[in-house]
Amino acid sequence: MTHTPPTSAPEPRPRRAASVVIVNTGDGKGKSTAAFGTAMRAVARGWRVGVIQFIKSGKWKVGEEEVAGRLGVDWWALGDGFTWDSEDLGESQAIAQEAWRLAKEKLAGGEYEMVILDEITYPMNWGWIATEDVVDALRHRPEKVNVILTGRDAPAELIEVADTVTEMRMVKHAYEAGITASRGIDY
């Protein structure tokens, strides 16, 4: 199927924003991958970038963290891993709340032009982090701080405050065929 290329700019004419909030959600693969790709663009422009992970712990050896460190990205893998592996969900909740405390500090501090809150929707949906608190922090962040939030089932309030929301939809996934996560592809 072919389409006619546009010959005029979209209406209304786009304007530059001081910063944006982006949400990558949905049940498909690629939410974090897209966020980290955008982080590379930000680094190429000389921006300071900070990443806070809410599920992956510092025990995980993920490729994107290793490369990001080489590029000067500040990275905090503060999660407790998968909840089904947790021996104490109360402790997992406390860990997520501490990650949110740090994230809120980094958002408000203004030292980063981009902050990625990776897999934050999970503790939000479990009631471990108040959605209203996240939305408030986004609304009151310094003007130049761009934020990308990732995870399935983004709450409606988060979608409302965001400038761009992309839903990754799973069409097919290797895991369904019994293929586990692969180095270099999934982490």
How confident is the model at residue 175, as a pLDDT? Answer: 80
Residue 77 belongs to a domain = yes
Tell me, what CATH number does 70's domain have?
A: 3.40.50.300
Residue 110 belongs to a domain = yes
pLDDT in tens, 3-23: 888 888 878 777 788 999 999
**Tally of structural domains, the chain:** 1
112: containing domain:
21-177
**Would you place residue 95 in the very low, low, confident or very high pLDDT band (cuts 50, 70, 90)?**
very high
Cα torsion angle, 39, 51, 149, 57, sign = positive
Residue 83 belongs to a domain = yes
SS (H, E, C) the chain: CCCCCCCCCCCCCCCCCCCCEEEEECCCCCHHHHHHHHHHHHHHCCCCEEEEECCCECCCCCHHHHHHHHCCCEEEEECCCCHHHCCCHHHHHHHHHHHHHHHHHHHHHCCCCEEEEECCHHHHHCCCCCHHHHHHHHHCCCCCCEEEEECCCCCHHHHHHCCEEEECCCCCCHHHHCCCCCCCCCC
Residue 7 belongs to a domain = no
Residue 186 belongs to a domain = no
Residue 10 belongs to a domain = no
How confident is the model at residue 80, as a pLDDT? Answer: 79
Residue 49 belongs to a domain = yes
Q: Which pTM value belongs to this model?
A: 0.89
Residue 12 belongs to a domain = no
